[in-house]
């Protein structure tokens, strides 16, 4: 179309140049001078045989890695039948500044979201735990805000809680570690006890930070299992959910290190978004190009889809790393595969409530409350299956709520 008599080709050229410029910018890594504390980027994920050295990088801190791996073998302090109260190597801190024996407390909880079955299970458990304390009269008001996985929303939620002045304690499950740090610090400064659990933040001003041993240990549990159950030279496919989520990145960093030292060949690590169809498709395509002897996943979402890919392709099952989600455990039992279910202890959702109780009672709590993190192995499988036989398939076996009122109906009929 040349209404004004101009030729059309310069327009195309300009357009193509615009796209080329944008794509070049995307391809080049010449952003503004980068003097931040962000160390050299890892190269784009590909087969990583022997590529990882023992040095720190953005997601791999050697000291933390070794500490977590060692903590797996430490006997936790506390009752063995109540793992949500156990502590590993605790450094107890005096909490008398927050002690307040009066009943009728308001407990506030800024939740990241309930956007996946793990969080849904945990939140149900937490609510049941709160009911126990409500029956005792300690808590009268349990206020929850849900940020739908939006950092900005959660910052506003926490600010709203702090500004209301009515919270006697604030529990936070952050959406992202780094971005929630400033607002948690401001909450600490406001003088109320802040309890952080699950992902954590980059400060230690809070009363306690509750978490299971950690991502390195989780990743290592799975990677070591593969290393011990596969011959050197066997192939392993790593399936990851998303880049940039620190808990998940730590898991992969640990696994990558172990694979590099193990003689296993990592075919690739793919981001799946946790979507079953994507997972199945990716695994199917790898199977079309050769054998896959082991699958490592950074979380159990879609683990069943991965196994089904092998079924549909008519290939023998791999050595599998899943999670304590019931659908995976049941599939494991049904197919008799060699597998392990690393656990990101779901019962950690009970601990913050009990920590608040301790703090109000003036008891000491650890500045960092490390909960045990024990994978489910073939030996424990039957026991967990029986205990959760009536539970829905997206329930998590280590939810820790068996003696709470409401068991089993509240979880069964979620």
Strand ranges (E), 264-309: 265-271, 294-297
In the bound state with another protein, the residue whose beta carbon lies nearer, of 318 and 366, is 318
Which residues inside 281-300 make contact with another protein, applying CB under 8 A? 281-282, 284-286, 288-289
Stretch that binds another protein, among 182-190, 335-343, 355-363, 372-380 (CB under 8 A): 182-190
Q: Least distance (Å) from another protein to the CB of residue 175?
A: 8
Could you give the CA distance from residue 284 to residue 276 in angstroms, rounded to a whole number? 12
User: Rule CB under 8 A: is residue 336 a binding residue for another protein?
Assistant: no
Given 145, 229, 338, 367, the residue binding another protein (CB under 8 A)? 145
In the bound state with another protein, the residue whose beta carbon lies nearer, of 230 and 282, is 282
Could you give the CA distance from residue 225 to residue 180 in angstroms, rounded to a whole number? 34
Q: Chain centroid to CA 95: how far?
A: 28
* Strand 319-321 with 294-297, pairing: parallel
In the bound state with another protein, the residue whose beta carbon lies nearer, of 134 and 179, is 179
Q: Which residues contact 393 (CB under 8 A, 6 or more apart)?
A: 325, 326, 327, 330
Site string for another protein, 109-138 (x = CB under 8 A): ----xxxxx-xx--xx--------------
User: Rule CB under 8 A: is residue 181 a binding residue for another protein?
Assistant: yes
Q: Which residues contact 95 (CB under 8 A, 6 or more apart)?
A: 193, 207, 358, 359, 362, 363, 364, 365
User: Rule CB under 8 A: is residue 334 a binding residue for another protein?
Assistant: no
Could you give the CA distance from residue 286 to residue 296 in angstroms, rounded to a whole number? 14
User: Rule CB under 8 A: is residue 33 a binding residue for another protein?
Assistant: yes
Q: Least distance (Å) from another protein to the CB of residue 74?
A: 30
In the bound state with another protein, the residue whose beta carbon lies nearer, of 187 and 370, is 187
User: Rule CB under 8 A: is residue 55 a binding residue for another protein?
Assistant: no
The SS3 assignment for 366 reads strand
Q: Least distance (Å) from another protein to the CB of residue 95?
A: 27
Given 6, 7, 44, 232, the residue binding another protein (CB under 8 A)? 44
Determine what percent of the chain falls in helix, strand and coil, rounding each to the nearest 5.
40, 15, 45
Could you give the CA distance from residue 293 to residue 102 in angstroms, rounded to a whole number? 59
Given 78, 276, 406, 408, the residue binding another protein (CB under 8 A)? 276
377-404 per-residue burial string, b: 16 or more CB within 10 A, e: under 16:
eeeebeebbeebeebeeebbbbbbbeeb
User: Rule CB under 8 A: is residue 377 a binding residue for another protein?
Assistant: no
Site string for another protein, 237-256 (x = CB under 8 A): ------xxxx--x-------
Stretch that binds another protein, among 187-195, 276-284, 334-342, 372-380 (CB under 8 A): 276-284
Q: Least distance (Å) from another protein to the CB of residue 88?
A: 27
Which ranges constitute the DSSP H helices of 213-266? 215-229, 246-260
User: Rule CB under 8 A: is residue 394 a binding residue for another protein?
Assistant: yes
Which residues inside 4-23 make contact with another protein, applying CB under 8 A? 8, 11-12, 14-16, 18-19, 21-23
């Amino acid at each position: 179309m040349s209404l004004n008599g101009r030729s059309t080709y310069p327009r195309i050229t300009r357009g193509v140049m615009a796209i080329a410029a944008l794509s070049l910018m995307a391809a080049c890594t010449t952003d503004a001078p980068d003097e931040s504390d962000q160390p050299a980027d890892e190269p784009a994920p590909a087969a990583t045989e022997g590529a990882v050295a023992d040095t720190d990088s953005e997601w791999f801190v050697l000291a933390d890695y070794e500490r977590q791996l060692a903590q797996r073998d430490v006997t936790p302090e506390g009752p063995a039948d109540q793992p949500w109260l156990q502590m590993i190597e605790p450094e107890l801190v005096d909490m008398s500044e927050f002690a307040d024996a009066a009943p009728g407390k308001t407990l506030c909880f800024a939740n990241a979201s309930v956007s996946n079955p793990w969080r849904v299970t945990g939140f149900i458990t937490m609510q049941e735990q709160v009911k126990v304390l409500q029956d005792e009269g300690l808590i009268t008001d349990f206020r929850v805000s849900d940020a739908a996985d939006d950092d900005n929303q959660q910052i506003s939620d926490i600010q709203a809680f702090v500004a209301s002045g009515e919270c006697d304690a604030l529990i936070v499950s952050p959406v992202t570690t780094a971005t929630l740090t400033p607002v948690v610090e401001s909450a600490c400064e406001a003088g109320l006890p802040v309890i952080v659990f699950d992902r954590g933040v980059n400060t230690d001003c809070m009363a306690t930070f509750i978490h299971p041993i950690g991502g390195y240990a989780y990743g290592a549990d799975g990677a070591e299992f593969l290393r011990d159950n596969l011959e050197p030279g066997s192939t392993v496919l790593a399936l990851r959910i998303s880049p940039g989520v620190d808990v998940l990145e730590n898991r992969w960093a640990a696994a990558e290190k172990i694979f590099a030292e193990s003689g296993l060949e990592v075919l690739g690590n793919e981001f799946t978004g946790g979507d079953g169809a994507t997972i199945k498709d990716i695994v199917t395509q790898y199977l079309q190009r050769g054998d896959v002897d082991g699958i490592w996943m950074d979380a159990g979402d879609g683990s069943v889809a991965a196994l089904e890919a092998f079924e549909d392709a008519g290939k023998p099952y791999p050595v599998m790393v899943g999670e304590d989600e019931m659908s995976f455990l049941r599939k494991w039992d049904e197919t008799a595969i060699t597998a392990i279910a690393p656990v990101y202890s779901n019962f950690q959702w009970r601990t913050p409530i009990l920590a608040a109780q301790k703090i109000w009672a003036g008891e000491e709590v650890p500045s960092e409350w490390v909960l045990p993190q024990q994978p489910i192995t073939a030996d424990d499988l039957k026991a967990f299956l029986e205990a959760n036989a009536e539970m829905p398939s997206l329930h998590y076996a280590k939810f820790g709520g068996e003696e709470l009122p409401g068991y089993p109906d509240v979880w069964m009929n979620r």
